[in-house]
Amino acid sequence: MVLSFTAYSQSDSTKTFTLSGSIDTYVHSSFGTRNLYPLDNDGNPSATYAPSTSFADLKGFSLGMVNLIASYQGEKAGFTADVVFGPRGRAAVFGTASGQAIINQMFAYYKLSDAVTLNLGQFNTFVGYEVISPAINFHYSTSYLFSWGPFNHTGLRADFAFGDGGVAKLAIMNPTDVVEFNPVNTYTLGAQIGKTSDAGGIWLNLLYGDQDGTLDDKVDALGTISNGTLFQVDLTTGWNLSETFYLGANTSYQTVGEGERVTVDGVVDRGNDASSFFGVALYPKLTLSETFALGLRAEYFSISKGHLGIIGLDTDGNGSVMEFTLSGNYKAGGFTFIPEVRIDKTSEDSFFKDGEAELKDMMATVNLAAVYKF
């Protein structure tokens, strides 16, 4: 159910205010297996009962978030105000200077024409297959591709509609997930081009920019380091291949340059290789009835040169993980019940079992989630 209020101006143009959202809650178990990664600043294991992916990572009976979305649609202009409360919301909006972490999206838009819309403010990323809202994802847990790509952007974005399903975006933004203001004075460029139809769509997404600022040896202390420029290319697609079978796919490559360091000789290159991740995920889904569907996520995710410390890596900083997530969706009106079984298998040991000294390379988890969308 969406609450909608419509008003008419003297020129008989329609203006609509809507209030929608969702709540989610779940129970989670990893059968006593814990995750070593990521390590804390002292090199100690995280010891969480979940893989190194976002959300659905709290032991036992747990809460997700309350999501409230207010939107106003006018003839030429409007806004979206999307707020989140709860553990899932705090994990999604982690780049806040104020620490409030409740604004998921807040942007205003203006239509220059039927084909061009300008958006200014904070908005969820257009990169990738999965999203923050559990009411939109089929699986309750999330992929490595989603968890370690961007979540949110703050900036100016132009949306283009070319007709016949052709779409595009161009954006200039703060560094990814730096949402309230820009403390580092560097910016990220974003772009998308896509083609959609009644059967599905395909989108090519790009990000490019320095994420943590540039160094100045007159200001920054000796030994201060900065990462290099980030580049990410992402392809997302999904198609209804029949009335009951759907297939989605996502592949993404992200790389960060070697970066710089402040030395007695000034700012110099750090001398290390560029690091990266690469991943690919398939999302087949079978609709068995009007109320029940079964879906699989099969994902491969690899890390090179220590790009992320989220799984066990070899001495060169390389490692990979494969995860398989089987989920059911039972729907009744706005309610969705999601039973889910997941297995994560890493190339290097990344897990340990309570009471056992031997490290493991596999973790099995179970989630039972309830999501209500209104």
- List the one residue out of 47, 45, 42 whose CA is nearest residue 30: 47
Give Cα 192 to chain centroid, integer Å.
16
Q: Half-sphere exposure of residue 143, counting CA atoms within 13 Å on the CB side? A: 31
SS (H, E, C) 20-61: EEEEEEEEEECCCEEECCCCCCCCCCCCECCCCCCCCCCCEE
pLDDT (tens digit, 0 to 9) for every residue of the chain, 374 residues total? 555 555 444 444 578 999 999 999 999 999 999 999 998 888 889 999 999 999 999 999 999 999 999 999 999 999 999 999 999 999 999 888 888 889 999 999 999 999 999 999 999 999 999 999 999 999 999 999 999 999 999 999 999 999 899 999 999 999 999 999 999 999 999 999 999 999 999 999 999 999 999 888 888 889 898 999 999 999 999 999 999 999 999 999 999 998 899 998 888 988 888 999 999 999 999 999 999 999 999 999 999 999 999 999 999 999 999 999 999 999 999 999 999 999 999 999 999 999 898 999 999 999 999 999 99
What is the phi/psi pair of residue 144, to 5°?
Answer: -65, -40
pTM: 0.94
